[in-house]
Amino acid sequence: MPLENMNAMLGKAAGAGYAVGAFNILDYNSTKAVVLAAEETNAPVIIQTSAKTVIFWGASAIISWIRQLAGPSRVPIALHLDHCKDLDLIEECIESGWTSVMIDASSKPFEENLSLSRKVVQMARPKNVTVEAELGAIVGVEDDIHVKQQDSHLADSDQAIKFCEDVEPDCFAPAIGTAHGVYKGVPKIAYDLLEEIAAKIEAPIALHGGTGLADNVFKKCISLGCAKVNISTQLKYAFIDGFVAYHNANNIEYNPLKVIDAQFDALKAGIVEKINLFGSSGKV
Ligand SMILES: [Zn+2]
C-alpha cells in the first residue's frame, strides 16, 4: 500500500480506545522489523525517524527502504519525522515523501512555539502531510534535544486548548510527566492533566517517553486519550543487545548475516509485544 499520513489511523484509534505504535527506526533492518511486526499483528503502524537518523543516512536512502518495504505491505503505514526543530529539514522530509512531521518548538516561549508550529502546519497541509506539535517540555534526551529535570515542565491545560485552537495540529504531544530515555525511579504521570486536555481538544494525543513504562501505565494513558505511543529507547537497546547477545553466544563464528538476523528477531519481538499491548493488533 502507499504510505498514509497519520489522520485516518489515529482518528480510528482515538475513537476506539487503542493506540498506534510509533517506532523509531535506525536502518534498513530495524525498518524491516517494524513493517514485519505490523504485518504479523495486522496492525497500523507509524515508522518514525529522528532528525539525526535522517541526517546520518540522507532522506533519499530512508525513503527508498520505506517504499520497498511498505509498498507490498497490506497494513497502513505512516512515515513520521520525530522531534524536529529545523524547518529546512522538515521541508526536505515533506518533499522527499514523509507523510507526517513533528515540529518541536517546545523549548521556545509559548507564542514562538505557536507561530513556528502554525508555520509547519501551513507547509505540510497542502501536501497532505500531518503535523504533530509539542507543548511543555518532556524531560530526558531525544535525539540531540536534552531537557534537564529542573527545566522540564508539564503542559498547562488552558495553554494546550489555545495552542490546539490556533495551530490545529493533527496530533498533539503535551508534556504529562513521561520522560525520554531510561527512567530513573518511578515516573509520575499527570493523569488528571492528560484527561482534562484529552476532553478539551480534538487532536489525538501522542505519548512520548514510552520505553520503561509499566503495562498498566500504558493502558491507563491510552484509556485517557493517547492514540499514538512512541517507542524509541527500547529499540536502541534491542538493536545493540540483539547484536551483542548473538555474538557473545557464537563468538568464533563471524557470519554477519546471522548477526543481523538475530538483531532483527530481537527488534521484531519487542515491537510485536508493544503492538499487542497498545491494542492495535487486528485494527487495519
Ligand atoms: Zn519524544
The string over 207-240, giving b where at least 16 C-beta atoms fall within 10 Å of a residue's C-beta and e elsewhere, is bbbbbbbeeebbbbbbebbbbbbbbbbbbeebbe
What mean pLDDT do residues 78-106 have? 97
Vertex 71: Cα angle to 67 and 235 (nearest 5): 60
Following CA atoms 211, 38, 276, 223 in sequence, which dihedral angle do they give, to the nearest 10 degrees? 70
Residue 109 CA, ligand 1 centroid: distance in Å: 19
| 191 alpha carbon – ligand 1 mean position (Å) | 18
Stretch 93-106: mean pLDDT: 97
pLDDT of residue 188: 86
The tally of CA atoms less than 13 A away on the side-chain side of residue 165 is 8
Q: Which residues contact 202 (CB under 8 A, 6 or more apart)?
A: 164
State which amino acid sits at residue 49: T
Q: What is the pLDDT of residue 152?
A: 60
Residue 147 near residue 137 (C-beta atoms within 8 A): yes
SS3 231: strand
Give me the pLDDT at residue 147, please: 62
pLDDT-based confidence at residue 153 (cuts at 50, 70, 90): confident
CATH 3.30.70.60 holds for 7-278? no
The per-residue pLDDT of the chain, averaged, comes to: 93
Give the contacts of 148 (CB within 8 A, at least 6 positions apart). 139
Q: Which residues are catalytic?
A: 82
Residue range 39-49: average pLDDT? Answer: 98
* Top-confidence residue, 179 or 166: 166
pLDDT value of position 142: 62
* pLDDT above 90: residue 159: yes
Burial class (CB within 10 angstroms; exposed 0-12, middle 13-18, buried 19+) of 52 = middle
What is the model's pTM? 0.94
What's the Rg (C-alpha) of the chain? 18
Q: pLDDT tens across 228-282, in order?
A: 999 999 999 999 999 999 999 998 899 999 999 999 999 999 999 999 999 999 9
What is the structure's pLDDT at 149? Answer: 58
Provide the pLDDT for residue 141.
Answer: 60
256 alpha carbon to ligand 1 midpoint, in Å? 32
Q: Which of 28-32, 40-44, 150-154, 265-269 has the lowest mean pLDDT?
A: 150-154
Which neighbouring-strand residues pair with 271?
none
**Mean predicted confidence (pLDDT) in 190-201:** 94
DSSP-based three-state secondary structure for 43: coil
**pLDDT grade for 211, boundaries at 50, 70 and 90:** confident
How much distance in Å is there from the Cα of 22 to the middle of ligand 1? 10
Helix (H, G, I), strand (E, B) or coil at 150: helix
pLDDT at 47 over 90: yes
Give me the residues near ligand 1 (ion), CB cutoff below 5 Å.
142, 208
State the Cα–Cα distance between residues 47 and 36, nearest whole angstrom.
Answer: 12
Question: How many Å lie between the centroid of ligand 1 and the Cα of residue 210?
Answer: 9
- Between residues 147 and 246, the one the model is more confident about: 246
Distance 43 CA to ligand 1 centre (A): 22
The pLDDT-based confidence of 148 (bands split at 50, 70, 90) is low
What is the mean pLDDT of the segment spanning 148-157? 69
Q: How would residue 59 be classed by pLDDT, with cut points 50, 70 and 90?
A: very high
| Residue linked to cell 508550529 | 117
* pLDDT (average), residues 186-192: 89
> What pLDDT was estimated at residue 145?
58
